[in-house]
Structure 1
Amino acid sequence: MKKRLLLMICLLSFYSNIAYASPVVKTDNLYTYEEMLRDVSDLDRKYKEIITVNTIGHSHFNRKIMAIKLGKGQNNILINGSHHGREWMTTMLIMKMIETYAEAYANNNVIGKYKTDIFNDFSIWFVPMVNPDGVTLQQFGPNQFPIFHQKSLLHMNNDSHDFKGWKANGWGVDLNRQYPAGWNELKGESQRNYQFYKGHKPLQAIEVQAISHFTKRIKPALAISYHTAGREIFWNYQNGEWLVRDRKIAAKVAQLTGYKLNIPPKKATGGGFTDWFITTFHKPAMTIEISFLVGERNPPLSVFSEEWVRNCEVGIMLAHEIKTMYIKK
């Protein structure tokens, strides 16, 4: 019964443009960096009471890395997406989440069973697109970049003009292999590439510098990094004495989404954002992989409605969980 109710609520949100005014965030087409900027600006104007917008840095090719705060509280959690170029559906998901929560707050509505008045004294920070260069390259190819760099991009892409598999940033560094935790043990490409090149040192990429500095500044009590694909949750990386606590909250996300909890090998290597977050702050973090497996490309738009239903309550559920089981202690 609860799952049916959740399905109805999330589907009503997804198809709200049928019965109500057209939503700001459109989910039926390619979701680009430029569209994200427009939507952030529109949501900021529409929900100024509850939304705060910051530019926390710029990409290698000077595209903005945006952060959106939903809520009025200092205590917060952090949700980010699109560390990888081909995973831009996570940006769409996050932007849809921001609009849905802001609209519910403005109208004093609930999200599932969760009250939105939590945002009176608690916040969620969203960074929808950590890697705007990678997203732009994956969607539109090298012509969106300086002429002097286009030949290098083709070389890093195995001389293919099909960039649908591109994960790295615009300089050929895989951003989710750039964090210090476990970086030394990471294997992969030895030079700049469309995926798996970890860089010559951790925190080399300015996009990673931006999100790591921002994370240290806002001190979130929990972090989520959305990726594609596989419908899987990675939560366990050297959690130590916090293992039981972190498993408990990851299990709640698994129950809500229907995704499986990953059990990593004992010698699992790191380098990812959530690996760094767990070992740096000793607080829970999860990498959530949306969509069924699709290989080296972006998931099809046809899967978004189901992934939205699975994830629409994740942010607000975690806000409530963290406020009750963690911050108050």
Structure 2
Amino acid sequence: MEVVARNGDTLSYYSRLFMIPIQLLIDSNSACNPESLKKGDCIKIPGFEAETLHLQDGDALWKIAGNRNISVDSLLLLNQALSMKDMHAGTAVIAPKRVMQKSVDARKKYDSQALRNDLEKLKEHFPFIQINILGKSVLENDIYEIRIGRGSRKVHMNGSFHANEWITSAILMSYVNDYLLAVTNGGKINNLETFPIYQHVDISIVPMVNPDGVDLVLNGPDERVRDKVVRINEGSMDFTGWKANINGVDLNNQFPAFWEIEKERKEPKSPAPRDYPGEAPLSEPEAKIMAKLAEERKFNRMIAFHTQGKEFYWGYENFEPSESAMLANEFARLSGYKAVQNVDSHAGYKDWFIQEFRQPGFTLELGKGINPLPLSQFDDIYKDVLGIFLASLYL
């Protein structure tokens, strides 16, 4: 919601008026001087949307304010063009309405368009977040990062490295939405205060690393690459088993962590729906983007969301720090998932992250069954893994 500043207004006053932490107002209006707003400045108020009402006989601003448990001055602020003589039955009045319900509609087949739509809604309701475009996929789809918080601890999460694991994007976006609602409204998640996390943690989330592949699995082939992907898929139009990017390269086999071993032993020696590591590490634009992000930000920990197996992997070639074992034990306790230190695998993002930065990295295998997991598992996955999402931020 936007308001137009009046003479003497400050962000501190708006913080009290709307009962919003001032830091969220500052972060939503970074170009403004918090204590010296100019008359006419457009100020974003996080956690609110403007609702149009029509006055009934006998209505007055004080009555509307009382019924909605808001300040009369919040109504005056939003209705500066109206004068008292305009207040009669039928007059349109704008009232602030606190956002209490989810903006994200994630319990559906979650493709790149669904992600874009939900990112727009989140930015509108929670303007203190950053939505960054890190680069483009093979088919020129934007690869988005959500960045939340002001802290020195840097935590990164990602989803949909693999195309038919698209439910991970939906789960991550639901966690983001619930976290933003709690931060804005002074709420808790699992009895955990969220605003202190906002102050102490810088969260980076790439909800959909492989948008081209996700769209292929959910919507079928783009006309531009129909012949190519059908050929890679051995003539079949059933893409439910497709994990790779649109070039037929498995993005989670693309990183320079003993990549040569994976290249040698992986069965596909040419583009395939899954497991082909490419002709060289970091050959694919999506993998390059993710490597560049980690190199620039120097994250303190990383969690990659995959499916399936109800387990997670937390070690790599003994490069992981001692902190990783502590986190793994807590993740297992909170989720009921099995903690696995080492698996015979290389060239994954988690592997490279641990090797390169010697920081805790995790690959979570959400749910159990055959990929793509059905949406009927959404609620169970959400509940099981919520503790891991939160613990990765506060521990």
TM-score class, shorter: 0.7 to 0.9
Matched, 1:269 2:345: yes
CA distance in 1, matches of 2:188, 2:101: 20
CA distance in 2, matches of 1:64, 1:199: 22
Q: What percentage of aligned pairs have identical amino acids? A: 31
Tell me the amino acid that sits aligned with residue 238 of structure 2: D
Q: How does 1:230-241 map onto structure 2 within 5 Å?
A: 230-240=309-319
Aligned to 1:127: 206
8 Å contact kept, 1:203–1:209:
yes
Aligned to 1:16: none
CA distance in 1, matches of 2:212, 2:148: 25
Aligned to 2:233: 157
Aligned to 1:11: none
Relative to 1, partners in 2 of residues 1:278 and 1:240: Cα closer, same or farther, differing over 3 Å? closer
Q: How does 1:9-24 map onto structure 2 within 5 Å?
A: 22-24=101-103
8 Å contact kept, 1:83–1:227:
yes
CA distance in 2, matches of 1:320, 1:194: 38
CA distance in 2, matches of 1:240, 1:121: 26
Aligned to 2:392: 318
Tell me the amino acid that sits aligned with residue 306 of structure 1: D
- Specify the structure having the higher radius of gyration (Cα): 2
1:264 Cα deviation (Å)?
Answer: 2.9
Aligned to 2:287: 208
1:71 Cα deviation (Å)?
Answer: 1.0
8 Å contact kept, 1:183–1:270:
yes
CA distance in 2, matches of 1:311, 1:131: 22
Structure 1 portions without partners, runs of 5+: 1-19, 322-329
CA distance in 2, matches of 1:262, 1:277: 17
Matched, 1:258 2:258: no
Residues paired across the two proteins, number: 293
Structure 2 portions without partners, runs of 5+: 1-98
Q: Using structure 2 for the length normalisation, give the TM-score.
A: 0.72
Out of 170, 174, 184, the position equivalent to 1:106 is 184
Deviations 1:125-173 (A, max 9, x none): 100000000000011111x240xx3112111112111001110001110
CA distance in 1, matches of 2:161, 2:106: 19
Query: Residue 205 of structure 2 aligns to a residue in which SS?
Result: strand
1:263 Cα deviation (Å)?
Answer: 4.4
8 Å contact kept, 2:311–2:338:
yes
8 Å contact kept, 1:122–1:319:
yes
Aligned to 1:175: 251
Query: Residue 56 of structure 1 aligns to a residue in which SS?
Result: strand
Deviations 1:1-40 (A, max 9, x none): xxxxxxxxxxxxxxxxxxx965221233211110101101
Aligned to 2:354: 278
CA distance in 2, matches of 1:258, 1:202: 34
Query: Residue 362 of structure 2 aligns to a residue in which SS?
Result: strand
1:120 Cα deviation (Å)?
Answer: 1.6
Tell me the amino acid that sits aligned with residue 94 of structure 1: L
Out of 122, 125, 135, the position equivalent to 1:43 is 122
Aligned to 1:291: 367
Tell me the amino acid that sits aligned with residue 226 of structure 2: Q
Aligned to 1:137: 216
1:109 Cα deviation (Å)?
Answer: 1.1
1:320 Cα deviation (Å)?
Answer: 1.1
Tell me the amino acid that sits aligned with residue 140 of structure 1: N
Aligned to 2:169: 91
Relative to 1, partners in 2 of residues 1:106 and 1:191: Cα closer, same or farther, differing over 3 Å? same
Highest relative contact order (Cα 8 Å, sep 6+), 1 or 2?
1
8 Å contact kept, 2:254–2:280:
yes
Relative to 1, partners in 2 of residues 1:104 and 1:85: Cα closer, same or farther, differing over 3 Å? same
CA distance in 2, matches of 1:193, 1:107: 47
Using the TM superposition, name which of 156-165 and 276-285 deviates more: 156-165
8 Å contact kept, 2:135–2:143:
yes
Q: Which has the higher helix share?
A: 1
Matched, 1:300 2:374: yes
Query: Residue 131 of structure 2 aligns to a residue in which SS?
Result: strand
1:247 Cα deviation (Å)?
Answer: 1.4
Tell me the amino acid that sits aligned with residue 174 of structure 2: K
1:74 Cα deviation (Å)?
Answer: 4.0
